[in-house]
Amino acid sequence: MIMPHVITENCILCRYGSCVDVCPVVCFHEGPNFMVIDPVECVDCGICVDACEANAIFPAAQLPPSLAHYQKLNESLSAVWPLVMEASGPLTSADAWNGAIGKWQHLVGAPKA
């Protein structure tokens, strides 16, 4: 069974976009300051994991419990955010926010927990 990969909290305010460049299929959807993977289109190759400068991508089956809610979030937001064919480049805030804690509260365009 194919399990999708999931983008998690440390992408928020970084959105480097390197994952888009290496992915063999088109399955990334971009929001204002975060990015998600469409679980239907992801073929679970894992290439994006090492490409992510923020270490924000996990196989769904290996999500840390504290990040488990991101699986549902990737699924729901990929249905409403636009598909991206090419990365638009890191956000200007990317390096300053990479690794910061408590980024969830800064997520734009998604329901709050």
Residue 85 CA neighbour count, 13 Å, CB half: 0
Residue 20 CA neighbour count, 13 Å, CB half: 18
Cβ atoms < 10 Å from Cβ of 109 = 11
Q: Which residues bind ligand SF4 (CB under 6 A)?
A: 5, 22-25, 27, 37, 42-48
Q: Identify which of residues 42 and 94 has a Cβ nearer to ligand SF4 in the complex.
A: 42
CB of 102 to ligand SF4, least distance (A): 26
What DSSP designation does 24 have? S
Q: Identify which of residues 2 and 96 has a Cβ nearer to ligand SF4 in the complex.
A: 2
CB of 43 to ligand SF4, least distance (A): 4
Q: Identify which of residues 51 and 100 has a Cβ nearer to ligand SF4 in the complex.
A: 51
Extract the tokens encoding 87: 């990365």
